[in-house]
Amino acid sequence: LTKNRTEGSVVPTSGMCVTCVDGCIGMCEIGKSAYRGHEVIYPQPFGVITAAAEKSYPVDYSHFNIMGTATGAHGVEADSDKAIFPAVNLEVTFGHDNGIKFRRPWIISGVGSTDIARNNWEGLAIGSAVAGTGLTIGENVVGMDDEAVFKKGRVVDTADLKRRVQLYKDHQRDGYGAIIVQANIEDTRLGVQEYAIGTLGVECAELKWGQGAKDIGGEVKIRDLAKAQLLHERGYLVLPDPTDPGVINQFERGGFKEFERHSRVGMVSEESFAERV
């Protein structure tokens, strides 16, 4: 985590001290990023946290109020005896033919190949399915699955994706809610959505253009040489190159202890998007 030299006098838009001084060791977010960037690319402790940020922006959602209305009602009959809050209907339908229906108007966005996602999947899947809302399986779940089977570079069987989809579907009620499978560049190349739709019966897909949290692709740390080589073979960018004999030698001698697996950022164009749809 970070600190400021001038505690209590922090510029909200940058997270910096109001007077940034030459010679400071740089405990703030910007300072740490500058000299320990390769470490803070993965917020610590890696694998058990979901990262947010320490900045506060001049305008955020807390500055907006959802105002009710003094006349009429939405989602319930405008009758004083009937318009009580547990009776309000929050159902929504959407999609090109309004064929997707949710009991509650929210969706959990991409929860992917991270340990956080894997460890909490039961609660997320069963909770969303029972509530009749949407849950999105994020990127790289197939690529990171040791048990996934590929033929000619395309996925034909999985353990993790299958488990995630099944858990949701087993608890879905009356057709409400949806399990959505997201795809980034690597997922698309591996044929993840074709497999999810064709084999697992998934009905909703999300084409991923970029990252909600940052302007680089998704990344994780890999502490195992064989896994790093597997991901390299599956088309991921793995740094340093785990097939390079010099790198292997250095890793085995303890010169470094972790590889980085990066996924690419989608460079969307209107034409390519339309073609894919």
Which residues of the chain form contacts with ligand SF4 (CB under 6 A)?
4-5, 16-17, 20-21, 24, 26-28, 30-31
| CB closer to ligand SF4 out of 30 and 53 | 30
Rounded to an integer, what distance in angstroms lies between the CA atom of residue 142 and that of residue 165? Answer: 12
Rounded to an integer, what distance in angstroms lies between the CA atom of residue 168 and that of residue 164? Answer: 7
| CB closer to ligand SF4 out of 13 and 50 | 13
| CB closer to ligand SF4 out of 35 and 256 | 35
In the complex, the smallest distance separating the C-beta of residue 215 from ligand SF4, rounded to whole angstroms, is 22
CB under 8 Å, gap of 24 or more: what pairs does 224-229 form? 225/251, 225/252, 225/259, 227/146, 228/259, 228/261
| CB closer to ligand SF4 out of 16 and 192 | 16
- Token pair belonging to 78: 């405008």
In the complex, the smallest distance separating the C-beta of residue 51 from ligand SF4, rounded to whole angstroms, is 19
In the complex, the smallest distance separating the C-beta of residue 90 from ligand SF4, rounded to whole angstroms, is 45
| CB closer to ligand SF4 out of 5 and 261 | 5
- Token pair belonging to 141: 């779940």
Q: What one-letter code names the amino acid at 242?
A: P
| CB closer to ligand SF4 out of 19 and 250 | 19
CB under 8 Å, gap of 24 or more: what pairs does 271-275 form? 273/207
Residue closest to 205 by CA, chosen among 171, 179, 177: 179
In the complex, the smallest distance separating the C-beta of residue 28 from ligand SF4, rounded to whole angstroms, is 3
In the complex, the smallest distance separating the C-beta of residue 27 from ligand SF4, rounded to whole angstroms, is 5
| CB closer to ligand SF4 out of 35 and 273 | 35
Which DSSP state fits 173? -
Rounded to an integer, what distance in angstroms lies between the CA atom of residue 5 and that of residue 173? Answer: 54
| CB closer to ligand SF4 out of 24 and 107 | 24
In the complex, the smallest distance separating the C-beta of residue 59 from ligand SF4, rounded to whole angstroms, is 23
Rounded to an integer, what distance in angstroms lies between the CA atom of residue 9 and that of residue 186? Answer: 44
Rg (CA), the chain: 23
In the complex, the smallest distance separating the C-beta of residue 30 from ligand SF4, rounded to whole angstroms, is 6
Q: Kindly report the CA angle at 158 between 157 and 162, in degrees rounded to 5?
A: 110
- Token pair belonging to 47: 């694998």
Which DSSP state fits 61? G
- Token pair belonging to 125: 């899947």
In the complex, the smallest distance separating the C-beta of residue 33 from ligand SF4, rounded to whole angstroms, is 10
3-class secondary-structure state, position 57: coil
